[in-house]
Structure 1
């Protein structure tokens, strides 16, 4: 890295690099159950969707180079889920294992809490051990496993669910109930 990495909100100008990172993981890993990479246009739309809702979509950058990205979206689209979010995090293959994921996920937890989410869930495709370890290092607890719910690269894949409270979690009601 030429500069200390910075965490900042994603912009449309980051979409090509974000799409490239995601494409690598779609083609080479089981963290995503997608089988076709997301286009640059679809990536721009995902950034815009997060912006429209006020949900965090962050990148970790070294100058103009995106090292990884993470975003949080409402866990499910029904109103009662309005205080729960799901995180997505992907790191450029050249920067896996170098602390980028922990930096990003830590910032995402803070940003999701600032938004007002009270619970964050990780749905870890393929039960990826590195992702499980990353989430555990930031206080996520294992809350479930769905066995053989995906199939990719000729094998059955589990999804591991991990969760952590944000802010007051469920210890007190929110100031405003989800609509």
Structure 2
């Protein structure tokens, strides 16, 4: 398995991974998955800003992706990023998330970010556990702010200082 910078040609794999999570999980509150063109543009835009967009490969296939973007558009948030991480469903539980998130934390610090925020849709227990394993602490919870699959869902905020 290997972690590397994403390239535009990874858009199809990223789209497929995300589409599965849109259709089957509450990790994202999206109800319709963006197409491959959206992901190609997203990869290009993130990389153009000097921010990390990473993929993890297993057996030569993209098995997950993660990226960090500025938390909010206002200049005051320039040193704070929000992460996004998704693992292909068949690869979940194999330790790829820990490897990928650790690489993202490192890359985000090198990109100049000082704080990383995880916004965890549905308070997904696996995502909360993954982030906790890497030192993130819960910074807040918005209760019942989402609705998906007929369920009211919380959003959990977790935070990590990147320059300790």
TM range (shorter): over 0.9
Matched, 1:129 2:125: yes
Q: How far apart, CA to CA, are the structure 2 residues paired with 1:84 and 1:98?
A: 29
Once the 2 structures are TM-superposed, how far is the Cα of residue 36 of structure 1 from its aligned partner? 0.3
Q: Of residues 92, 99, 109 in structure 2, which corresponds to 1:96?
A: 92
Once the 2 structures are TM-superposed, how far is the Cα of residue 62 of structure 1 from its aligned partner? 2.2
Once the 2 structures are TM-superposed, how far is the Cα of residue 38 of structure 1 from its aligned partner? 1.3
Report the equivalent of 2:47.
Answer: 51
Report 1:9-28 matches (<5 A). 9-28=5-24
**TM-score w.r.t. length of structure 1:** 0.90
Over the residues paired in the alignment, what is the CA RMSD in angstroms? 0.7
Q: Of residues 115, 130, 148 in structure 1, which corresponds to 2:111?
A: 115
SS of equivalent residue, structure 1 residue 68:
strand
Gaps of 5+ in 2: none
Larger Rg: 1
SS of equivalent residue, structure 1 residue 54:
coil
- 4+ residue stretches of structure 1 with deviation over 4 A? none
Report the equivalent of 1:174.
Answer: none
Gaps of 5+ in 1: 169-179
Once the 2 structures are TM-superposed, how far is the Cα of residue 142 of structure 1 from its aligned partner? 0.5
Aligned length: 164
